[in-house]
């Protein structure tokens, strides 16, 4: 019997952007003219970028002064100026300024959403699925897999990344291969006071791919969210990652928006969606 897919998630873009910001919290934050300046020692673009919250409130005449303030703030931290800009007319004037200033366009990313499942997924008894270990904290095995797949930098950078992860209440999922070795991971972030959950850090070691590990982790995290009262989910996937997009579409996720990064010519570029 076919199991109906969940309905699309209806959530205001501003609310979703706020939840995304809380799910990946920067270690430093400063608000200037409504813009949220974020920094975390250069570890990940998201935690080291400007979220121009309420961009539509600013006229084209306001933007150069705001950009000067942002440049000073990031220069004091020896970081490039990076904007996280979501699709939509609110960012039109800012895009124009950044085009004139020579900012690059990078890391186009889809935001996909779905409502919480109204029916539990098919029982594991009807199909072979690997066991998924769940924890409220990222274990050393979990961190090792994620960092090996998505990490950039050494132990200092990984320590910063761990602080970012632990800045939001989350559920961490880990699957081991048949020999007991850590093979794949994922994270469900549930910001305090929110009924939305964000799926992050979906990573499988190259030698462990095509074994259904990612699907098992995704299903397990969705169920964990349902049990915690989450009413809707979001996730982020790079526009070039068509394989992951297919996995998420099959799980009922639909594209709800897009964003990209606009970056000054940096000395050292953080990476990642």
pLDDT, residue 254, reads 96
Give 33-92 as a DSSP string: TTEEEEESTT-SSGGGSEE-TTGGGS-TTTHHHHHHHHHHHHHTTT---EEEEESSGGGH
Measured distance CA(103)–CA(39) in Å, rounded: 18
For 239, phi and psi rounded to 5 degrees?
A: -60, -25
User: Which residue pairs, CB below 8 angstroms and at least 24 apart, start in 75-78?
Assistant: 77/28, 77/39, 78/267
Task: From 50, 94, 106, select the one nearest 74 (Cα to Cα).
Answer: 50
Q: Evaluate if residue 251 carries a pLDDT over 80.
A: yes
Measured distance CA(20)–CA(46) in Å, rounded: 10
Measured distance CA(30)–CA(195) in Å, rounded: 26
pTM exceeds cut of 0.75: yes
Q: Evaluate if residue 225 carries a pLDDT over 80.
A: yes
pLDDT, residue 146, reads 98
Q: Evaluate if residue 10 carries a pLDDT over 60.
A: no
Q: Which single residue is written with the structure tokens 């990209």?
A: 260
Mean pLDDT throughout 120-126?
45
pLDDT tens for 211-224 read: 999 999 999 999 99
Q: Evaluate if residue 155 carries a pLDDT over 90.
A: yes
**Which DSSP symbol is given to 236?**
E
Q: Evaluate if residue 128 carries a pLDDT over 60.
A: no
Query: pLDDT category, 268, cuts 50, 70, 90?
Result: low
* Domain range 112-256, CATH class: alpha beta
Give the neighbor-by-neighbor strand order of the sheet with 196-204. Answer: 28-32, 35-39, 50-51, 82-86, 254-263, 104-115, 232-238, 196-204, 182-189, 170-176, 132-135
Delimit the domains of the chain by residue range: 13-110, 112-256
pLDDT tens for 95-120 read: 999 999 999 999 999 999 999 965 45
Q: Give yes or no for a contact between 202 and 165, defined as CB atoms under 8 angstroms apart.
A: no
Three-class secondary structure of residue 251 per DSSP: coil
pLDDT tens for 36-95 read: 999 999 999 999 999 998 765 677 788 999 999 999 999 999 999 999 999 888 889 999
pLDDT, residue 1, reads 33
Query: pLDDT category, 12, cuts 50, 70, 90?
Result: confident
pLDDT, residue 266, reads 55
Q: Evaluate if residue 246 carries a pLDDT over 90.
A: yes
Q: Evaluate if residue 243 carries a pLDDT over 70.
A: yes
Strand partners, 261: 84, 106
Query: pLDDT category, 126, cuts 50, 70, 90?
Result: very low
Q: Evaluate if residue 121 carries a pLDDT over 80.
A: no
For 190, phi and psi rounded to 5 degrees?
A: -125, 90
Q: Evaluate if residue 123 carries a pLDDT over 50.
A: no
Query: pLDDT category, 158, cuts 50, 70, 90?
Result: very high
Query: pLDDT category, 253, cuts 50, 70, 90?
Result: very high
For 137, phi and psi rounded to 5 degrees?
A: -130, 150
SS3 content of the chain, % helix, strand, coil (to 5): 35, 25, 40
List the structure tokens of 118. Answer: 């109204």
């Amino acid at each position: 019997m076919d199991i109906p897919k969940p309905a699309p998630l209806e959530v205001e873009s501003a609310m979703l952007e706020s939840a995304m910001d809380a799910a990946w919290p920067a270690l430093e934050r400063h608000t200037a003219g409504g813009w949220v300046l974020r920094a975390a020692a250069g570890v990940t673009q998201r935690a080291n970028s400007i979220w121009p919250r309420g961009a539509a409130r600013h006229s084209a005449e306001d933007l150069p002064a705001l950009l000067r303030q942002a440049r000073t703030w990031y220069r004091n931290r020896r970081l490039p100026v990076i904007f996280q800009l979501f699709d939509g007319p609110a960012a039109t004037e800012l895009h124009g300024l950044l085009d004139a200033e020579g900012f690059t366009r990078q890391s186009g990313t889809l935001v996909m959403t779905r409502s919480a499942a109204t029916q539990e997924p098919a029982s594991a008894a009807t199909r072979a699925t690997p066991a998924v270990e769940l924890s409220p904290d990222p274990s050393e095995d979990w961190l090792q897999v994620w960092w090996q797949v998505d990490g950039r930098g050494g132990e200092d950078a990984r320590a910063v990344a761990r602080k970012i992860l632990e800045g939001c209440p989350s559920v961490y999922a880990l699957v081991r291969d048949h020999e007991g070795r850590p093979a794949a991971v994922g994270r469900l972030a549930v910001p305090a006071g929110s009924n939305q959950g964000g799926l992050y850090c979906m990573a499988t070691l190259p030698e462990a791919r095509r074994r259904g590990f990612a699907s098992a982790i995704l299903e397990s995290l969705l169920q964990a969210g349902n049990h915690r009262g989450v009413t809707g989910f979001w996730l982020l996937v790079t526009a070039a990652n068509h394989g992951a997009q297919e996995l998420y579409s099959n799980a009922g996720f639909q594209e709800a928006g897009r964003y990209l990064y606009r970056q000054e010519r940096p000395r050292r570029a953080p990476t990642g969606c």
